[in-house]
Chain A
């Protein structure tokens, strides 16, 4: 067993009780700080470097061929804790050459940024790797409506990310070779 010793606090000496030496040393510290290098980032002109894996504003991305990746499975809508995502699923017309082997795409895709908590569950859950929380962190608007990102805006912000899978191309070749699904 460890024996605990209660340390008596030493009574303050006279000079300590006047506070003055302590105040003087404090003043010295603050004065020397006056001339130190400033750490401020001049924000709009200088931007901080964004670390990898940063969770910024959620966006929708297209594949390198410029095709919509989202298939409106609504998993993200389901998993979203604050219920910020609202998807209206829609069919892809049969005659769409580019995406002829995909059945569905969102007709409308809305993320309410006033609700979004940037948790990144949507990115994590997306089976098509269509939704990403990218580097944009500054979001502002004059009205509530302005802060509801619709599909067009989401794609505009998302742009195209490199895709390793080319799933649709694979599906297309699979179907052409006769072993769809």
Chain B
């Protein structure tokens, strides 16, 4: 181990820690946003009591932050941490403890390949800001996020009682059904980006973002793929029209019925981390990532300021999408289990196939036209 390698490793570990903490705090604040937005939509005000003592003393800003509930996630986290930990006697202890970890780890691992900005140095050499710029970005994300279902299934099974078990079963069926549609719905995007004459290459997410720079966002080019992907994303993140594993009205709490205190907290945060990462992926694939607007070149100059603005713009888009997730959740009722299955297999999958074939023909046609 030479010094250079150690230095690089230390740097990578630091970056990873920073990113984990950023994503986790975004997930925490997504919980707050969920509570606030749901309250506003229902004519309530939402959490507005928690405040740190020295901040409440500041005039105007203190009460404003308090009303926004900005310190609520802190209080929630502490509450989960200090709650009495109850392990029901009838559970399978090993898997019971394992499953929250299995649920959280994939949610956090997927972000390693997620580019969130780029840095152009003085020589004009551009590097995407990403923990690991893997050529197979999107496949890696699919692979890892497909492992997240084990947390839910194992949690449901190890709880050894009816409702969690049904939740686990439902989620495994749902995940398998919608993964297919999800994969097929992004294929046209890669076909488009990798088509002859296009700038992109491979399955890297950064190249997809850069292919949208200064031209139309892919959501405008392929609205149908974007729509299919979004629906599948809702299903994969277990958000409301598809929250089969949880469905608190018919399954008590679904897979986490038997979980309490911090173990429940981990499940909770993992779910929201999935939402955050999912929104970020949609932003990179369809909303132009860190680039300004369709057909408009980035107004910021390259360099640190520019890349920071780009990251901020990326986050802004992601937050809008997270808001959309929350918005849909508090608007729609839940699908029945058989409706979810039917929608996945009989509607979404054929539509995704048709979409794929259409773009295959289109790309081939464009290719032939440009060749001749």
Direct A–B contact in the complex, CB atoms closer than 8 angstroms: yes
Please list the residues of chain A having a beta carbon within 8 angstroms of any beta carbon in chain B.
Answer: 23, 26-27, 29-31, 33-34, 36-40, 42
Q: Could you list 7 examples of A-B contacts with CB < 8 Å? A: A23-B332, A26-B331, A30-B331, A31-B41, A34-B37, A38-B43, A42-B45
**B328 adjacent to chain A (CB < 8 Å):** yes
Residues of A within 8 A of B37 (CB): 34
Q: Name A39's contact: one of B44, B328, B331, B332 (CB within 8 Å).
A: B44
Minimal beta-carbon separation of A39 from chain B (angstroms): 5
Whether the pair A27, B327 counts as a contact (CB closer than 8 A) is yes
Q: Name B44's contact: one of A23, A31, A40 (CB within 8 Å).
A: A40
**B contact residues, total (Cβ < 8 Å):** 12
Known: A23-B332, A26-B331, A26-B332. A33 touches B44 (CB 8 A): no
Residues of A within 8 A of B328 (CB): 23, 27
Q: Name A38's contact: one of B40, B327, B332 (CB within 8 Å).
A: B40
Whether the pair B331, A34 counts as a contact (CB closer than 8 A) is no
Q: A27-B328, A38-B40 are in contact. List 16 more A-B contacts (CB 8 A).
A: A23-B328, A26-B331, A27-B327, A30-B327, A30-B330, A30-B331, A31-B327, A34-B41, A36-B43, A37-B43, A38-B43, A38-B45, A39-B43, A39-B44, A40-B44, A40-B45
Minimal beta-carbon separation of B332 from chain A (angstroms): 6
Minimal beta-carbon separation of A78 from chain B (angstroms): 44
Fill in one digit per residue for B35-64: 1 if any A CB lies within 8 Å of its CB, else 0. 001001111110000000000000000000
* Bound Cα distance from A34 to B326, whole angstroms: 12
Minimal beta-carbon separation of A42 from chain B (angstroms): 8
Whether the pair B332, A33 counts as a contact (CB closer than 8 A) is no
Minimal beta-carbon separation of A48 from chain B (angstroms): 15
Closest to A25 in B: B331
Residues of B within 8 A of A29 (CB): 331
Number of A-B residue pairs having CB atoms within 8 Å of each other in the complex: 34
Known: A33-B40, A34-B40, A38-B40. A27 touches B45 (CB 8 A): no
Whether the pair A23, B331 counts as a contact (CB closer than 8 A) is yes
Whether the pair B45, A30 counts as a contact (CB closer than 8 A) is no
* Bound Cα distance from A17 to B43, whole angstroms: 31
Closest to B38 in A: A30
Minimal beta-carbon separation of B230 from chain A (angstroms): 12
* Bound Cα distance from A33 to B330, whole angstroms: 11
Residues of A within 8 A of B43 (CB): 33, 36-40
Whether the pair B44, A27 counts as a contact (CB closer than 8 A) is no
* Bound Cα distance from A23 to B332, whole angstroms: 7
Residues of A within 8 A of B327 (CB): 27, 30-31
Whether the pair A30, B41 counts as a contact (CB closer than 8 A) is yes
Residues of B within 8 A of A30 (CB): 41, 327, 330-331
Whether the pair B45, A33 counts as a contact (CB closer than 8 A) is no
* Bound Cα distance from A30 to B240, whole angstroms: 15
Whether the pair A27, B331 counts as a contact (CB closer than 8 A) is yes
* Bound Cα distance from A34 to B328, whole angstroms: 13
Residues of B within 8 A of A40 (CB): 43-45
Residues of B within 8 A of A39 (CB): 43-44
Closest to A29 in B: B331
Closest to A37 in B: B43
Closest to B44 in A: A40
Q: Which of B307-348 contact A (CB under 8 A)?
A: 327-328, 330-332
* Bound Cα distance from A87 to B41, whole angstroms: 51
Residues of B within 8 A of A37 (CB): 43
Residues of A within 8 A of B330 (CB): 30
Residues of A within 8 A of B45 (CB): 38, 40, 42
Minimal beta-carbon separation of B201 from chain A (angstroms): 35
* Bound Cα distance from A33 to B41, whole angstroms: 5
Residues of A within 8 A of B40 (CB): 33-34, 38
* Bound Cα distance from A29 to B330, whole angstroms: 11
* Bound Cα distance from A159 to B331, whole angstroms: 50
Closest to A33 in B: B41
Greatest chain A CB density within 10 A among B37, B45, B327, B331 is at B331
Whether the pair B44, A38 counts as a contact (CB closer than 8 A) is yes
* Bound Cα distance from A108 to B40, whole angstroms: 51
* Bound Cα distance from A23 to B234, whole angstroms: 14
Minimal beta-carbon separation of B328 from chain A (angstroms): 7
Residues of A within 8 A of B41 (CB): 30-31, 33-34
Residues of A within 8 A of B44 (CB): 38-40
* Bound Cα distance from A27 to B327, whole angstroms: 7
* Bound Cα distance from A38 to B37, whole angstroms: 12
